[in-house]
Structure 1
Amino acid sequence: MEFEIYNVDDTAKLGINLGKLLNAGDIICLTGDLGVGKTHITKGIAKGLGINDNITSPTFTIVNEYDSGRLKLNHFDVYRVSDPDEIYAIGFDDYIFSDAVSIIEWANYIEEILPNDLLHIDIKKDYSKGEDYRKITLNAYGKRYDYIKELKI
């Protein structure tokens, strides 16, 4: 499933609408270059889950937890993880195999330790189509994510 987005507001809307569809235990893996909007879509997902906290990228702490919405959210940023053992040391399996929604920015850095069932979201820029243009591609791995067929901006 692909979406062409031409502004930050639509990136957030896509995230909000996805957040409304998510279920306990869902794992969202985000990939894309620096500055493409991984944290923006995460902020939207949090809003869709009913979380109104200030969502920040946990670049230095690896994970931020939010539990003020309809589902708990574990937000990972593994950009600085150089060895999968680092992520295991924080109890990664306990986080992602819980009833919380887990969002993993830079998931490609730890793909060898990710479960088979997940929702992968890749975000790409194309400046030839405008400064804020993004192509957002969603790929569902596992039947639990069939609901993304209902996703709209």
Structure 2
Amino acid sequence: MAYNLPPGLGSHTHWDRRIDAKLAGAMMGIQAIKGVEIGDGFVTATRRGSVAHDEIEKNQAGKIVRRTDRAGGTEGGMSNGEILRVKVAMKPISTVPKALDTIDVATGESAKAINQRSDVCAVPAAGVVAEAMAALVIADLVLEKFGGDSVGETKRNYQNYINNLRIK
């Protein structure tokens, strides 16, 4: 999850600049990751539109927010200012204690795979990598939108953008 992203990171017009596409690609590039979900992704696909989409309202402070975050902080390929939520599904590690059937590629004969190692769980390491990949994608999108020749210029560009949003 990523908090406090400004609305507008990504693109609604370019397929390769969509925040959700960039995040999904980065996550799928991690070893053993076999699925990516943004927001309520797969559950949302089973819902009617009237239940799947996030309604918009003003909160008590007058800020425009979504009542829910089913979209996971993205809309139309861009961040929407809500919490960015990305989940990944990881397959089990390939080395298992039980020898599985295979083929000896040198002879073409049936064989049993050998047990070279037996990791207990690779999920914690994948979580660290996924967090780092999300951070890299977000940093790239921030620089694409607000970048400058220095951190100071990037911060100034970001602040000007926030100050000039029509809807706050």
Q: Tell me the TM-score normalised to structure 2 length.
A: 0.28
Structure number with larger C-alpha Rg: 2
**Structure in which a larger fraction of residues adopt strand:** 1
